[in-house]
Amino acid sequence: MRYLPLNDTDRSDMLARVGVKSVDELFADIPEDVRMKGLLDLPKRASEMEVERKLSAMASKNTAAGSVPFFVGAGAYKHHVPATVDHLIQRSEFLTSYTPYQPEITQGTLQYLFEFQTQVARLTAMDVANASMYDGSTGTGEAVLMAHRVTKRNKAVLSGGLHPQYREVVEGLSNMAGDRVVSLPADPTGTEDILSQIDDETSCVVVQSPSFYGQMIDLKPIAEKAHQHKALLIAVFTEVVSLGLIEPAGTQGADIVVGEGQSIGNGLNFGGPYVGLFATRQKYVRQMPGRLCGETVDAEGKRGFVLTLSTREQHIRRDKATSNICTNSGLCCLAFTIHMSLLGQAGLTKLARINHGNAVKLKKLLAGVHGVEVLNSAYFNEFTIALPKVAEDVVEQLAERGILAGLPVSRLEPGNKDLANLLVVASTEVNTDEDRAAFVDALKEVLA
Amino acid sequence: MSMNTQGRPTAAGDVGETFRPKTFTGNRGLDMEEPLIFEFGSLETTGVDLDEDESAEFELGGFKRTAEIGLAGLAEPEAMRHYVRLSRNNYAIDSGLYPLGSCTMKHNPRLNEKMARLPGFADIHPLQPVSSVPGALDLIDELAHWLMVSTNTSAVAMSPKAGAHGELCGMMAIKAAHTAAGRDPKIVLVPESAHGTNPATAALLGYKVVSIEAKDDGTVDLDALKKTIAEHEGNIAGIMLTNPNTCGLFERDVKQIADLIHEADAYFYCDGANFNAIVGKARPGDLGVDAMHINLHKTFSTPHGGGGPGSGPVVLSERLAPFAPLPFIRKTDKGLELVETEAATKDGEQPFGRMTAFHGQMGMYVRALSYMMSHGSDGLRQASEDAVLNANYVRVGLQDLMSLPFGERPCMHEVLFDDSFLKDTGVTTLDFAKAMIDEGYHPMTMYFPLVVHGAMLIEPTESESRAALDLFVATMRDLVMSAKRGETERFSGAPYLAPRRRLDETGAARKPVLKWTEPAPAEVTPAAAE
C-alpha cells in the first residue's frame, strides 16, 4: 500500500521486538466475538489512477458553476479566487500542521490567525474577532448562545430576513438547550416590525443585512431598541464582499457580528468547508466562543503569538466552557487572509463596486422582462424577484437551457404560497454581459 | 585551504564554531523575521487586477460605507513571500514526525487534494438545482456507505463540521430519541479520561455531567458504573465514551458497558477520535455503540490545516437512525433524493433539526473517500495494524526508561506515559516536550488525559517508517538519560533552536492583544523639537 512505509520484514522484526507472535495479539483487548476475522465488505485497495478515474466520473456528472452563466447566491457565492491563494494554502507547512498548541514551532499559523482577526475586526468595525467558526450558520447559533450568557436571558428574536437554514440551526440548538426562539415570518422586502418583538425578556435580536432576500436593513433603530431593553443585537451577513461597500454593522450598534467568509479565498465546494467570521465588543470577549490568538513575547523579548484566553474553552473548562468548539476552519481562514491581503482596501472596495454594479445591471434587465417584479429597493449583489410562475419550475427549465439562475425560495421555505414564485438572484464579478443576456433571453422564453 | 582560480576559498576552513553573529535584520540565515501585513502593506496597493468598474450607480439605500476599512494590501510577489516566510515557521507532518496523541497526524495524500479540486466537486453550489449535481449525491452516498460498512451501523449524519460538532449532533439525536419516547433524562455519564469536548457538548444541551471513575488500569470501572447508574436510575440519557480510550487502551468491558447503558434506557455515544486504531479490526456497531462521530481529519487523512477544517460525520444505530438531522439522502427506486426540509420527510423520518446550513464538508468528503478507496478493505486494516504496531514499538523502546502508568501491556495506536520517570530531575513534562522541539520533533500531547500525572501521549501513526521510529526512540532515550543525569539546562530553557523561545502565555491572557493596532506616533516633546 503506497501510503504505508512498513514492509513485511519490518513488521515481523518489529513484532518480535514487541514480543508478540502476531499483530492480532496486540488487539487482544477487543472481545473475541467482535474482533473481525475477515475483511470489511468493501473493495480492496486501488491505484492512484483507478481512484482518479472513479472520482472524476462522479465529478463530471455535476454542472460546475464556472461552466455556465451562474446566478445562485443565497449564502454561498461564486467569486474569482487568485491562483496565489490555492498555491499558498497547499504549502505543506500550512496544510499539514495541527492546531498551534506548541507556539514556538507554529508561529506561521499563529501570525496569520492574528492577521485574520485584525482583518475581520476592521471589516466589521468591531473591537475583537475570533480565529473563526465552522461557518456563518453555526457561528450564528453560537452567537445566540453567547447572548444568552451575556444577558442571562434566553429568548432570541430572529428576523424574517435571516437565511432560513441559519434560522433552523439556531432553532435546533436553542430548542435542545431549552431556550426560546421567536422567528418572524419570511420578510422579502425588509418591512417587518421587529421592534415590537423586543422586550425585557429578550436576550438578542438576530438580523441579517443584506438579508437572505438581498434587502439592505437599517440596523440602527433595532440596536437602539435592543439596548433600551438591555438585549444584544446580533448582525448577520452571508456575503462578506458587501463589507467593502456598505456600512458595517459595527458602526450601526451591533454587539455581535457574525457571518460567512466563504466569498473571500474559498470555493463553493457544495457548501463546505467554509469559514465563519465572528466579532464582538471588547467587554464581551470572555464570553466569546472559539479560539483566539493573541500577541505576546518570548523569553528573549521577541514578539510572538499564542492561543489565548483558553480558560473559556472546552479543553480547560470542560462542562463550564463557552462552547464545545475545538477544530475550526484554520486553512479556510488562511485562504481568506491571503485573498484579503491581496485585495487590500483598494481591491476589496473595487471588487464590491463591481459586484454591486453587476447586480444593478442584472436588476434592470430582469425588471424589463414582462411579468417579473423586483422586490428590493436597496441591495448589494443579490435581490429577489417575483415571477409570474412557480420559481422552482422556472429554474429547472432554465437549467435545461444551461443557465443556473438563482434559488427558488420555496426550496428552503416549502409550503408557503406567498413565496412560491420568488427567486433570489445573485450577480458577482464573474458574470459577464453575455451571461446576463443569456439569462434574460432564456427567462423570456420560459415565461412566454 | 583550497582555492579556486580567483582565490575564493572552496573549503570550509577553520571557522569559529561558537560565534553567533547578532544580525542587523534579526534573521538567522533561512530563519526569517516577518512583520505583519499591516506593518508593510498599504491601503493603496492591491495584488488583484480587476476590470475597470464603469458603473457609477448605487442602489444601496444610503448604506454606503464612508470610513476607511483599514485593510493593508500587498502586491502578488509581496504576498507570496510573506506567506511563504510565515509557513517556514511551522512544524508539519510533511516535515517531521508529529506524535500528537489523540490527533492522528498521519500522512495527507496529495491525490486527495487533487480530487477535491475537480471543478465538479469544488465549483458546485450547495443550492444549485439538485438535478445539476447527481455526482455530488453519489459521492456523499458512496462515502456514507464506506463509513457505515466500516462501523456496521444503519445510518450516518454527514453534515457535522468537525468532531465536536459531530458529538453535538449525536447527543442531539439521543435527546430527540428520548423526547420521542416521552422521556426527559437529565444526566450524561462521562469518564474522567474523556476529551474536554465531551462534557462541554453535554452541558451545551443542558445535561448534567456525572463523572465515571477509572480502574487502576485506566479503563472504565464497571462496578462504579453500575453504582452510578443505580444512583441515578431513570435519569440517565447516555454515556459518552472514547474507545479506544485516551489512555491508548481498548475498553475490554465495552459490551458490558453498552448492555448496562441500554438496560438503563440510555444510549451509548462513542467518541470516535481514536477510530484509527480499529478500522477493519472491530466495528463499533458490534460493540453496542448507538452513535459515533468519525473525524475525517484524523482517521481518514483530510489535512488538519493548522486547526481545521474538520469533518465529523456521525454513524447511528438503528434506534437513532430516524432522528438523523437534515439534510440527508434517501435512496429510492429512481435513484438518490436529497431531503433538505421537514416538509420533504416521510413516515419514519423524524429529523431533530439541522446542524448547519447546506450539506456539510463536501471538500472533506471527497478527500476521505479518496483515502478510503485508495486503501480498500485490506489497506484500511493494514493501516490500523501498522498504527498499533508502531505505537507498541515505541512503547517497548521506551518503557524501561519512561513510566507507563498502567503497566507493561500492549497499547492501541497511542502510548501513554506519566511523568514519574522525571521525579527528582527538576524537569517537567512541559520542559521535556520543549526539549523535543530542539531535536526537531513536534512534542507529543502533554497533560492529557487528565487521569495520569504529567501525561505524555504519543501517537506515531502508521505513516512512520521503522527507521523514523528508531531515531525517535533513540532521541527520546537520549533526552530521558540527559534529564536523569541532571542536565536540566537542556530542558528548562528549551526550546533554544526554534523560531521562538518559550512564549509568555500568562502575559498574553492577562492583557489580551487580539488584533494589530497602529502604534501611536512617537510624541515629539518640545525640548526634542527644538
Q: What is the pLDDT of residue B57?
A: 83
Same domain flag for A185 and A150? yes
B529 burial level (CB within 10 Å; 0-12, 13-18, 19+) = exposed
Give yes or no for a contact between B141 and B134, defined as CB atoms under 8 angstroms apart: no
Ordered DSSP codes for A361-374:
HHHHHHHTSTT-EE
pLDDT band of residue B164 (cuts 50, 70, 90) is very high
Same domain flag for B359 and B391? no
Residue A405 belongs to domain spanning: 68-80+345-447
- Residues 6 or more apart whose Cβ sits within 8 Å of residue A422: A188, A213, A375, A384, A385, A386, A387, A391, A408, A409, A410
Q: How far apart are CA B311 and CA B204, in angstroms?
A: 20
pLDDT over threshold 80, residue B4 = no
Mean per-residue pLDDT over chain B, rounded? 94
Q: Quick one: what percent of chain A has pLDDT higher than 70?
A: 100
Same domain flag for A323 and A397? no
- Which strands make up the sheet holding A407-408, listed edge to edge? A373-374, A382-386, A422-426, A407-408
Same domain flag for B364 and B242? yes
Same domain flag for A349 and A409? yes
A152 burial level (CB within 10 Å; 0-12, 13-18, 19+) = exposed
**What distances in angstroms separate CA A136 from CA A186, A273, B63, one per listed residue?**
19, 11, 22
Name every chain A residue with its beta carbon within 8 A of the beta carbon of B50: 347, 350-351, 354, 429
Select from B370, B392, B391 the least CA-distant residue to B379. Answer: B370
- CB spacing of B87 vs A94 below 8 angstroms: yes
Same domain flag for B367 and B394? no
Same domain flag for B320 and B454? no
Domain count, chain B: 2
**What distances in angstroms separate CA B314 from CA A305, B368, B514, one per listed residue?**
34, 14, 34
User: What's this model's pTM, rounded to 2 decimal places?
Assistant: 0.97
Q: What is the pLDDT of residue A264?
A: 98
Please report, for the domain that includes residue A221, its CATH number.
Answer: 3.40.640.10
How close is the nearest chain B Cα to the Cα of A255, in Å?
Answer: 17
Q: Is residue B429 assigned to a domain?
A: yes
Q: Checking DSSP bridges between strand A382-386 and strand A422-426, what pairing results, if any?
A: antiparallel
pLDDT over threshold 90, residue B73 = yes
pLDDT over threshold 60, residue B528 = no
- Give the number of beta-carbon pairs within 8 Å between A and B: 734
CA angle B125, A439, A421 (to 5 degrees): 75
Same domain flag for B295 and B188? yes
Distance of alpha carbon B421 from the chain centroid: 28
Give yes or no for a contact between B39 and A115, defined as CB atoms under 8 angstroms apart: no
List A258's β-bridge partners, or say none.
A236, A278
Same domain flag for A257 and A313? yes
pLDDT over threshold 60, residue B1 = no
Same domain flag for B202 and B349? yes
Q: What is the pLDDT of residue B196?
A: 86
Name every chain A residue with its beta carbon within 8 A of the beta carbon of B157: none
How close is the nearest chain A Cα to the Cα of B140, in Å?
Answer: 10
Q: What is the pLDDT of residue B16?
A: 63
Please report, for the domain that includes residue B433, its CATH number.
Answer: 3.90.1150.10
Same domain flag for B446 and B383? yes
Same domain flag for A122 and A237? yes
Domain count, chain A: 2
Same domain flag for A434 and A359? yes
Name every chain A residue with its beta carbon within 8 A of the beta carbon of B353: 168-169, 171-173, 175-176
Q: How far apart are CA B398 and CA B420, in angstroms?
A: 14
pLDDT band of residue B529 (cuts 50, 70, 90) is very low
Last residue of a domain, one of A309, A339, A369: A339
Same domain flag for A282 and A354? no
Cell, residue B340 = 433538505
Query: Which of A40, A379, A424 to substitute to test the interface with B, most B CBs within 10 Å?
Result: A40
Quick: pLDDT tens for A238-287.
Answer: 999 999 999 999 999 999 999 999 999 999 999 999 999 999 999 999 99
Quick: pLDDT tens for A56-113.
Answer: 999 999 999 999 999 999 999 999 999 999 999 999 999 999 999 999 999 999 999 9
Quick: pLDDT tens for B348-376.
Answer: 999 999 999 999 999 999 999 999 999 99
Name every chain A residue with its beta carbon within 8 A of the beta carbon of B64: 245-247
Q: What is the pLDDT of residue A392?
A: 97
Same domain flag for A224 and A354? no
Quick: pLDDT tens for A42-57.
Answer: 999 999 999 999 999 9
Quick: pLDDT tens for B418-463.
Answer: 999 999 999 999 999 999 999 999 999 999 998 899 999 999 999 9
Residue B410 belongs to domain spanning: 378-485
pLDDT band of residue A379 (cuts 50, 70, 90) is very high
Q: Is residue A285 assigned to a domain?
A: yes
Please report, for the domain that includes residue A380, its CATH number.
Answer: 3.90.1150.10
Q: How far apart are CA B245 and CA A294, in angstroms?
A: 32
Give yes or no for a contact between A353 and B50, defined as CB atoms under 8 angstroms apart: no
How close is the nearest chain B Cα to the Cα of A50, in Å?
Answer: 8
Last residue of a domain, one of A288, A309, A339: A339
Across the range B479-507, mean pLDDT stands at: 97
Same domain flag for A317 and A409? no
For B245-282, give one letter per residue: b (16+ CB within 10 A) or e: bbbbbbbbbbebbbebbeebbbbbbbbbbbbbbbbbbb
Please report, for the domain that includes residue B364, its CATH number.
Answer: 3.40.640.10
B145 burial level (CB within 10 Å; 0-12, 13-18, 19+) = middle
Same domain flag for A277 and A297? yes
Give yes or no for a contact between A137 and A166, defined as CB atoms under 8 angstroms apart: yes
Mean per-residue pLDDT over chain A, rounded? 96
Q: What is the pLDDT of residue B348?
A: 93
Across the range B190-204, mean pLDDT stands at: 89
Same domain flag for B207 and B235? yes
Select from B78, B205, B98 the least CA-distant residue to A141. Answer: B205
Q: What is the pLDDT of residue B530?
A: 43
Last residue of a domain, one of A322, A339, A356: A339
Same domain flag for B269 and B235? yes
